[in-house]
Each structure stands twice: as structure tokens, then as C-alpha cells.
Structure 1
């Protein structure tokens, strides 16, 4: 008895679709990660600027 596994055309298409969907999902996760990192870095710059203003407040011009 030979148990050779024959791959049907439907299985090939489904596997191809699954790989494509996986790539799209990985891309979406990467995009969210990059945007999160950019936001954290931007907030860090804002906090440093705020601290600088507290240390050296702007002089009121009269």
C-alpha cells in the first residue's frame, strides 16, 4: 500500500492565498509598530522641550 500524498490544485491555491494573507498581516503589524515607535520618540522630544522651558522660562517682553 502506497500512501502518496497528491496535492490538489485547490490546495496549492489556498496555500498561496494563505502565504499572501500572512505577508499582508505581517506588513500591517510592522506598520503599526513603526508608527508606535515614531510616536514614542516624538513624545520624548516634546517632553524634553517642556523640561527645557521649565528650567529656562521665556522672559516676558514689556
Structure 2
């Protein structure tokens, strides 16, 4: 009986750790996408010349 409780607690702890890693990876990926977007906008805006 006690073994199943330990196994269940271990599963819950592993799931919590996995969820935390997934959130961190998702936030890191989103930050990278935003960074690439901003760098692209800055580089493209530098190539725009005003028309006389």
C-alpha cells in the first residue's frame, strides 16, 4: 500500500517538474521569436529610404 503512494507521489513530482520545464522552454521559444521579429523590423526599417 505504501509503495503505491510513493509511486504516485513520484509521478506527481515528475509531472510537476516536466510541466515547469515545458513552460520554461515555451517562454524561451516565444522570447526568441519576438527577438527575431524585432531584429528583422529594425534591419528592414534601416533599408527604407524616403522618396523625394
Q: Same fold (TM over 0.5)?
A: yes
Runs (4+) of structure 1 moved beyond 6 Å?
Answer: none
SS of residue matched to 2:47 = helix
Counterpart residue number, 2:24: 31
Distance 1:13 1:52 in 2: 58
Q: Note the residue ranges of structure 1 that are not aligned, 5 or more in a row.
A: 1-7, 57-62
SS of residue matched to 1:55 = coil
User: TM-score when scaled to structure 2?
Assistant: 0.89
Instruction: Look at both structures and tell me which one has the larger radius of gyration over its CA atoms.
Output: 1
User: TM-score when scaled to structure 1?
Assistant: 0.76
Q: Note the residue ranges of structure 2 that are not aligned, 5 or more in a row.
A: none
Distance 1:24 1:36 in 2: 18
